[in-house]
Amino acid sequence: MATEPRPFIPVGIAVLTVSDTRTLADDRSGQTLADRIVEAGHVLADRSIVTDDKEKIREKVLAWSREDKIDVVITTGGTGFTGRDVTPEALEPIFEKRMDGFSEVFHRISYDKIGTSTIQSRATGGVVNATFVFVLPGSPGACRDAWDGILKAQLDYRHMPCNFVEIMPRLDEHLKRGVSA
C-alpha cells in the first residue's frame, strides 16, 4: 500500500550573530543562514546581532525560546578559543538536553573540508524551553556546512527516517506532566 508523501511544514527560525564587530550590513554568516532558511521554505522569524557577552547571548536566546513563533534558534560566532569566544559558555548551561550528535556530525562534515582545523570550533546544540538551539562558528563556510549537511534535512518534516520537526510537539512533555527537568 502506497502512503501519501508527507507535506513540508515550515518552522520559525531565528538567527543570532555573536560579534563585537559585525553589523547586519556586513554579517555574511548570518546572511548565509537567513538566505538558506528562506530558500528552504522556512520562516525567518527574527535576526539579530549581540556582542560577545555571555549575559546578552543568553538573554536573547532565552527571550526567543519563549516566543511561540520561534521553533529553532541558530547562533553563529563565538565558538573558538579566544578570550571573547563565549557562546558555548553562555548557552550550554541553559540546555535542558544537550545534542552531542550535532557537534559530532558537524565536525565530521567540517573535517572533510578543512581537515584538523575543525577542532578549533566548539559547535554545539541543545534544547531550551522546547526550542532547538544550534551554536555554529562565525564563518559563512561553517554555516553552509551545518545547514546544508545537517539542519536542512533535520528541519524538513519529509526527511526520513526521522527529523526534528516531528518531535517538536513533544519537546516540552516533561512540563505538561508537571515534572521539571
Which domains are present in the chain? 12-165 (3.40.980.10)
pLDDT at 5: 87
Neighbours of 144 (CB within 10 A): 18
pLDDT given at position 4: 77
Q: pLDDT class for 3, splitting at 50, 70, 90?
A: confident
Transcribe 33-93 into DSSP letters: HHHHHHHTT-EEEEEEEE-S-HHHHHHHHHHHHT-TT-SEEEEES--SSSTT--HHHHHGG
Percent of the chain topping pLDDT 70 = 94
Helix (H) or strand (E) holding 8, with range, is none
CA angle 170–144–158, rounded 5-degree value: 40
Say whether pLDDT at 179 is over 60: no
pLDDT, tens digit (0-9, with 9 covering 90-100), for 82-141: 999 999 999 999 999 999 999 999 999 999 999 999 999 999 999 999 999 999 999 999
- pTM of the prediction? 0.94
- pLDDT the model gives residue 88: 98
Q: What are the grid coordinates assigned to 169, written together?
A: 510537539
Q: Residue 180: its pLDDT value, please? A: 46
pLDDT bin (cut points 50, 70, 90) of residue 76 is very high
Place of cell 560577545: 52
What is the model's pLDDT at position 100? 96
Asked if omega into 161 is within 30° of 0 (cis), the reply is: yes
pLDDT for the residue numbered 174: 66
- Mean pLDDT value across the chain: 94
Q: Residue 134 has what pLDDT?
A: 98
**Rounded Cα gap, residues 146 and 134, in angstroms:** 9
